Amino acid sequence: MGEMLKGKVALVTGGGRGLGRAHALALARAGAAVVVNDYGGSLYGEAGDDGPAAETVAEIQRAGGRSLANQGSVSDWASAERMIAETLAAFGRLDILVNNAGISRPARIYRLIEEDVDLLIGVHLKGTLATSHFAAAHWAAEGPAGGRAIINTSSASGLHPNLDGTVYAAVKAATAALTQGHANELAALGVRVNAISPCARTRMVEASPAVLSLMPKGEVFDRHDPDHVSPLVVYLASDQCRFTGRVFGIEGPDIGLYTPWSVDQQITHDGGWTPEAIADSLADLPQQSEVRAFFPGGTTAFRAPPGRSLRALGAV
């Protein structure tokens, strides 16, 4: 076992597969005891069994680490409370919370069903809030102490929304927003809160041919292996982390730090605006902003909203 997280205790949600499994193994290799939560369900949000969480736990234990499985769903408030309670009962402390559990249900807004909205908000948004709440309540009861960390999971889909994923985009953008808010709320308790926006070939990506085509398997170095994302999670969980309230894009060897939302243009009208004055003042302002996005394949410069959307509007 390594030294970077020696003596620390981590809870990883969705740790039975994909990125969460890689994070749990890496945290354990760095010396942390790890509670692996996973409801073992389908990519689309149907609950499953305890197999995936138990397999990650067995892998950690075979390598000499300390680990415990939890099969609750992060979408359920009481299950989230139990995850924290079981972590404290088993290992006596909680230092690191990795909010990673996720599902995918792509649908264009006019084809959405209520279940898409409820399930996506339930796992990604309510789930992140629920575990963060119970972890933060525990830390607040203990009082300020250094070395605590929450690592949330955002997505390029939320930072740069495109087509067919409006609910997923909304909850992943909300994850970036709550990361900034929680970083401010929890700083006085010694908790760093950051988010990653990963690119890795997992079952979530394999289910989407368009995204999968952007992540071909590398022969010499596979930049989309989930294992390459987890060293960043270990760093963000460690006492060496200098940051809070930030979003880090990561893919293979590349890490990109995002700026928060930032004002691009400003117009002013002394004495207040009329709708006509706004129309006049905005007539010559660019309709698009320059953006640098951390997408599969590396950083990409483009304009938002895309010219395609402006042309589609112009054609109607």
Question: Which residues are catalytically annotated?
Answer: 155, 168, 172
Question: What is the distance between the alpha carbons of residues 56 and 111, in angstroms, rounded to a whole number?
Answer: 36
Amino acid at 31: G
Q: What angle do CA 142, 146, 151 make, to 5 degrees?
A: 95
Q: Does 14 bind ligand NAD (CB under 6 A)?
A: yes
Q: Does 43 bind ligand NAD (CB under 6 A)?
A: yes
Question: What is the distance between the alpha carbons of residues 287 and 270, in angstroms, rounded to a whole number?
Answer: 23
Nearer to ligand NAD, 31 or 179 (CB): 179
Using CB under 6 A as the binding rule, the residues of this chain from 51 to 110 that contact ligand NAD are 52, 73-75, 100-103
Token pair listed for 309 = 């959307």
Token pair listed for 24 = 């749990």
Site mask for ligand NAD (CB under 6 A), range 157-186, x = bound: ------------------------------
The least CB distance from residue 178 to ligand NAD, in Å, is 14
Question: What is the distance between the alpha carbons of residues 47 and 261, in angstroms, rounded to a whole number?
Answer: 35
Comparing CA positions, the residue from 84, 91, 106 lying closest to residue 12 is 84
Nearer to ligand NAD, 1 or 177 (CB): 177
Q: Does 41 bind ligand NAD (CB under 6 A)?
A: yes
Question: What is the distance between the alpha carbons of residues 58 and 186, in angstroms, rounded to a whole number?
Answer: 33
Contact region with ligand NAD (CB under 6 A), list: 14-22, 231-239, 256-264, 299-307: 14-22
Backbone angle region of 190, left / alpha / beta, with phi > 0 → left and psi within -120 to 50 → alpha: left
The least CB distance from residue 146 to ligand NAD, in Å, is 27
* Interacting residues with ligand NAD (CB under 6 A): 13-14, 16-20, 37-41, 43, 52, 73-75, 100-103, 123, 127, 153, 155, 198-200, 202-205
